[in-house]
Each structure stands twice: as structure tokens, then as C-alpha cells.
Structure 1
Amino acid sequence: MEQQITWTDGEGHLRTALWHSGNATAPPRRIVLADDRTKADDAYRMAAEGTAMLWCGDFHNARQLLSALKRRIDRRRRRPPDDAAIAFNQHRQAQTFRAKVLGSLLVQVEEGAVLPLRRSPDVRAACAEAGCPLDRPFACSLTALLGMTGSHEWRRNGVEVPALGGARIHPYYGVFSPVRGEYVDLVARAPLPDACSVRSTAFDIGTGTGVLAAVLARRGVAEVVATDLNPRALACARENVERLGLAAQVRVTEADLFPARRRAALVVCNPPWLPVKPTSMLESAVYDPGGRMLREFLRRLPDHLEPGGEGWLILSDLAEHLGLRTRDDLLVLFAQAGFDVVDRLDVRPRHRKADDTSDPLHAARSREVTSLWRLAVGSS
């Protein structure tokens, strides 16, 4: 069902517009007009109280106001407590407040995805790629629009993947970008199971951009079936596979985890790493409520492995450092699903947050290790 926003314009007339949110954010109820005269302190107060502002001024001034709101949010930052679980909960609350305040600055986009503001950029291609309506006007948050334009640049320029010999993966809007290359490197260097020499078939579960499927194909796996449920991810993976010249080896298909009635010598899965409820579409790549996807993957995996085959599970141990799951919890899940651990390959993260002492989760991130667990069905 389409949602709309309503506000009163400068002449006192009631106006409405289609509401667009890539993260399924509910439309704001209270909206006032804002322009170049709006003070940052006033904007921050209104946003914190739940009032959204529809911007009518210069585009660059809107971006400056957004930066001013970020600075005021950062002033609220408190020293994180020593308890990691409490620190994580506080971090989530702070992120929710941040999203609320920054998402309160709105823009209206005219039919054809034209932004009618002074000094505004051309956002037509970005809006089209993000699935915005092009045949009618709509409104969205400025942060959402900036996210679309940023994603457009990611998609155009791509992300270099060393494990693919420096080739680039081009992520779509709403599809998690493989910027954390260490987990890709793990898949590139883990020894393929002996079963691959008998039946060279692999599954890449939750393929996203298709990067892991591409790595497996480049390693010589004859047939790779890459699955996902997100239509954007499926289109993104297909385009990347075509661009890399791997369409003859990699088949991208819509499936809830596993392809129906199929088995493989190798099944690879990089599920969301934190067993927490996501609050946005992009967070779904990181947060898995209660570890639901992880549990379901392990439960169903034995029925999709060839004899002697392996399941490769890629997980960060950040959840353990945050008190969200213990190592014993994970090992119990393996045992309950009937798996033995053949081996574990570890790598330290290389992302900037690992060294950012100002990050509220730095204590946990500084100890984080990403692992590739090689799992095989036990003999008992």
C-alpha cells in the first residue's frame, strides 16, 4: 500500500506527496517547511521532538544543515561502559536516534526524478536504480537521497576485489557491498573439499553481489548455483557474473537458502553476523534476529551436501565479544545439526573501525576475528 505525506505550503494550502523510503521507514506525521533561514539548533530541536522539515532552499545549504545536525548528535556521545552488551545496546539506541534526527530533513522530487532545488545535482539515474517512482512526484529524506546517489557511484565505479585478480564487483542500491574483503580472501584460500574433484558443484547461499560465487568459479568449480530472495541482489549478482564472463559457470536463482532438490560438494554461506533484529534493509546483511538464518542454514545443510562434501560457514566472532552469543553456543549449533569441524581459517578485520578508538564498540571490534568454518557431516 502506497503511503503519502501531508503538509501546508507557504500559502496555506494543504499539499500531499507520495512517500518513498528504501528502508520501509514510516512517513513522518508532522511536517513544516524549512529553508536557508532555518537555524541548525531549531532544526535539531524539531527533529528530536519528531517534527520533519521539508526543504525548500538551496541544495548545498541543505547538506550543510545535515552536517550541522550530525555535529549536534555527536555532542551527545557518551563514554561507552565497560560492559560490552550494555555498550552495544546504547550504541543501537544512539543509532536509532541518529537515524530519526537525520531522516527528518526531507526533499520533494518532481516527476522524472528531477530535484527542484537551487544548485541541485542530477539524481535521475540514482533514483531509477533505487526503484523510485519516475512517473510522478515523491518525497523522501535527504539522507535517503544521498544514499541513492552514493550507491549510484558505487555501482558505476565498482569495488576492487583482490581475490578476483583485481576485477571489480558493482553493488546495487540496497545490496551489501563487499568492502570487507577479508571474508572473500578466506573463500579464495580455503582448500576445496575432495568431493569437488568428483562432482564440481557448489552453492553460494545468500549471494548478494555474487562475489563469492565468482570467486568459486574462478577457482575452477564447474557449476556454482547462487541463491538469494532479494530481487535487487539477484539482478546485481546476474550483472556481475555476466560482467566477469562467468555466466557459463554461475547460475543465479531465487531460492529460500537452498535450491530445491539439489546437492553440492561445497555449500558456502556468509550469513548476517549479529543475532539482532535489523532496523533497515541494509542492516539485514549484518543483523539476523535470534540467529534465525544461521540456525536454518545449519538445520537444512545436511540434506544438500554430497557424500564427503563440506559446508563453509563464514562468521565474525563480534557477537561473542558483544555478549550476544558464546563460542559454546555456536559449537552446540554445529553439533545439533550433526556436523564436525574439519578446520577453521581465521583472519583479522582490515576495516577502519577496527582501529577507530572513538568508535563506541572499539573494545569489541579491536578483538574481532572473522572465521571460515569447514563443516562436514559427522560419522556418528
Structure 2
Amino acid sequence: MSAVSTLAPESSGKVRGGRRAAILALSLGAFGIGTTEFVAMGLLPDIAESLGTSEPTAAHVISAYALGVVVGAPTIAALTARVSRRTLLIALMVAFTIGNAATVLAQNYGMLMAARFVAGLPHGAYFGVAALVAAHLAGPESRAKAVGQVMIGLSVANVVGVPAATWLGGALGWRSAFVVVVIIGLLTIAALFVFLPALSDMKITNPMTELGALKRPQVWFALLIGIVGFGGMFAFYTYISTTLTSVSGVSESFVPFALMLFGLGMVAGNILGGALADRGVVRAIFVSLVAIVVVLVAFALTAGNPWAALILTFFIGLTGVALTPALQIRLMDVAEDAQTLAAALNHSALNIANAGGAWMGGLVIAAGYGYRAPSLLGAGLAVAGLAVLGLALLYARRSAVTVRT
């Protein structure tokens, strides 16, 4: 059975009628996850002061969340293979809400680290299962578009959720930002209960079947494309504020507007990327990676012009995120009967890309190449992603020849 099962005749009408509401509920969860993932970055000085520690030490709470994502995605996906997808999504959002409530109540550094790790555990599994459910509800012709619609919640979080929560945290204390996330989590739980159908016609597997995804070379190729290719966007984005102020001459007060442009580009990228992937997954990956190369090189060449830099900031967000729906569908396709684990691993890969891109971008700056260098590094990473895609296609062709022989 494929990732997108044929809907049962007796339930297809109900599914079609409530599909938009169900996908909106899934996207609301993505909005909450995106808000909690990025809001801590803007509140680090407040967090450090309240805990009586340095800002670099307080930054470890961000790493703790990312570690939770990387560990939780494959572990939860494999161990819960037999659980109903509806039940699992609700349980994941309950765990997410508990982790953020613990963040609000944490009284010391150790408790906060543990709370952020717990809050990160459901992240990858939620996105992976939500992508499978959205693709199932939408049907084979619109599955990538549906995945993109779920991911829009993450992009909107960067445009609305993170700035609003950061402002509230600055005004009322950093804990209030996570109170907002808890409220979003509770609303998502209620929305999933009300709008998500039973999904009884979705295929349920078992842990050993899901772990079988790790034996498939094409799964690893797809994950590596995400780690390398998507890392290019984060090499740029991590240092966007300083680049815009020191190279482009943009005033500090204008940086939030630039970040909003980047977030709007992410929203557009999810929509465009989903539409492209529904017309051809491999072609969408190729086009997205080529576009990333073009816009990052263009930014490095024109960064001295503030208007060009701002316009290209939008397009970097668009092209980078346009890659994600296609990668998600690619993983679901090549994983065959182990789609839950593969889909969840995509978000572990993207978090590795986040950390790796930021680290490598810092290395080229520290080496004295300036703040244009991360963009060129990012373009190089996207080229490496294209090389991995080429290797994946070559391996698939040779495997097919071997099977025929």
C-alpha cells in the first residue's frame, strides 16, 4: 500500500468535507512548534539574567531543544508504529504542551534544560506524522501541496508568532512567551480532537518495519540532500542581522522588517514548493537547489545595496523552504512501507542542517572572510546537495539495471 491510501467509500465524503479544517488543525500545531523553537533565541539575555548565568551558557537550552528533536523523531516514530495516527498526533501535542509548561515552571538551569529537551522530543515525530496524514487526506494528486500547507504553520510562526511572543516576553518576562506556546498547544489539542477524522483507513505498521527504512540507501540519500542543501539557507540566516547592518547598511531598527520578509518568503516557499512537488518530486528538488544557489550568490554579490539585500532576503526564504515539501514526499516514496520513521527523520535532518549551517557560517566569518562569505558557503552547500541528488539518481538507475539483469 502506498503512502496515500485510497479512502474508504463510506468515509471519503466526510474526509473531503473536513479536510481543510483537519489540515488547519495540523498547521496550528506547526505554528506552536515553530514559535517555541525560535522564540528562545530572542529572549536569551532575559533567560540568562533570570537564571544567574551567562548568555552563552543559557544558549544551551536551544541546543537541548534541538537534541530533543534529533533524538525524539526516530525513537517515537519507531516505537509508536502500531498507534493510531490520530491518537499519536494528539499524544504528541500533549507531550509538547507539557514540555512547554515545564519550561514556564522551571526554577533553575537544570530544570530548564530538561524541560526544553522534553519539549523538543515530539517535534520531528509530529511533523512527520502530520505530513503523512495531510498527504493521505489530500490524495495522490495534491499530497505535496497538503504537506506544504501544514508546514506553513512553521513559516507563519516566524512572521507572527515569534515576534509577538518575543515582544511579550520582553515586556512581561521570558516565561510569558512560553505561556503563549502552552495556550497554542491546548488549542491544537482541542482542534485535533474536533477536526481530525479517525483515519482508520491509514496503514499501521510495526517498529521493525519502520526501522527497515534505515536499510534503504535512497532514504539516506534524501536525508543527506536535506542536511547539505538546506544547511545553505541556515548558513545565511544565522548571521542575517549583522550582515544587513554591517554590509548592507540597513539600520538596526529595520532588521525586524527584514526578518519578516524572510518569513513571508518561507510562507510563499511552502505554497510554491508543494505545487512544484506535485508535478514532479525529483524535478522540484533540483529546481529548488538550483534556485538556492542563484539567490545566495546574488546576495553575496549585491549585499552592499540595502534594497537588493532586502529583496533577496525574501527570495532566500522562499527558495530554501520550497525544498522541504519535495524532500518530505521523496522520503515517503523511497521509504516504501516505513514512511512514518522516514518522514520524521526529515526533521532531524533539517535540525542537523540548522546546526551545521550555522557552525560552518561562523567558521568562515572567524577565518576573516567577512559576512558575505556565509552566503557563498550556503551556495556551495546547495551545489553539494545537487551532487547528492545526482548520486541518488545514478544509484537508482544502476540498481534498476541490476534487477533487470
Band of TM-score, shorter chain: under 0.3
TM-score (norm 1): 0.26
TM-score by length of 2: 0.25
- Tell me which of the two structures has the higher relative contact order, counting C-alpha pairs closer than 8 angstroms and 6 or more residues apart: 2
Q: Which is helix-richer, 1 or 2?
A: 2
